Chains A and B, each alone.
Chain A
């Protein structure tokens, strides 16, 4: 089974900060990596698919990069509505999620 490891598990940031969240796969998954945002009590929402493609309607401050085993989600300028938990997910072999990264207000 492919394991996905995110870092950090949580971070504190301020509005306007640049935020990077990393995700590492236990084996190469090419670009079969997606990123989701989840707010409390809500279903997750896709932000990035195929490692770097922005889902329609998602603000351009979100971007994704990487391939193989190492991936990054970047929020270029954190907005108040971005405080949430973020998950990476591989679709190379079945499906696996990372453990999540909670972005909190500093």
Chain B
């Protein structure tokens, strides 16, 4: 069965860095685009970033562009989110999500991890 397990969250001071990981299993990781989605406490879902199946294409939400970097290691079935210059507004549960592609164009998130909490505070 498909499993996505995030790790690396914790408490970090403003301006510092953190790296999140998402270990994938139960599917062909190297064939799937992957995403990070976050949710601030008591708030809605915010899409953060996408990486193509081969890692060659990456796109980011404006709120994190230039500070966050998404990457993947297909040999380790692992997705990463490198977060620099962290701010209070980056405090959230971070989910990794697998993208399903239907009929060549329809895409949606069919599996999600359990999430890892990042708290940015001094």
A43 to B59 CA separation, bound complex (whole angstroms): 22
| Total number of A residues with any Cβ neighbor in B under 8 Å | 24
- What residue in chain B is nearest A47 (Cβ atoms)? B108
- Contacting A at CB under 8 A, from B62-118, are 62, 95, 100, 102, 105-110, 112-115
Hey, what's the 0/1 contact readout for A74-106 against B, CB within 8 Å counting as 1? Answer: 000000000000010101001111111000000
Contact A100 B106 (CB under 8 A): no
> How far apart are A29's CB and chain B's nearest CB, in angstroms?
12
A57 to B106 CA separation, bound complex (whole angstroms): 19
Contact B95 A50 (CB under 8 A): no
Given contacts A34-B108, A43-B95, A94-B50, A49 and B102 within 8 Å (CB-CB): yes
Verify if B46 is at the interface (C-beta below 8 Å from A): yes
Hey, what's the 0/1 contact readout for A8-33 against B, CB within 8 Å counting as 1? Answer: 00000000000000000000000110
> How far apart are A97's CB and chain B's nearest CB, in angstroms?
4
Residues on the B chain within 8 Å of A49, using CB? 100, 102, 106, 108
A-B contact pairs, 6 of them (CB 8 A): A44-B45, A46-B109, A46-B110, A49-B102, A87-B45, A95-B50
Which residues on B are within 8 Å of A, measured CB to CB? 35, 37, 44-47, 50, 59, 61-62, 95, 100, 102, 105-110, 112-115
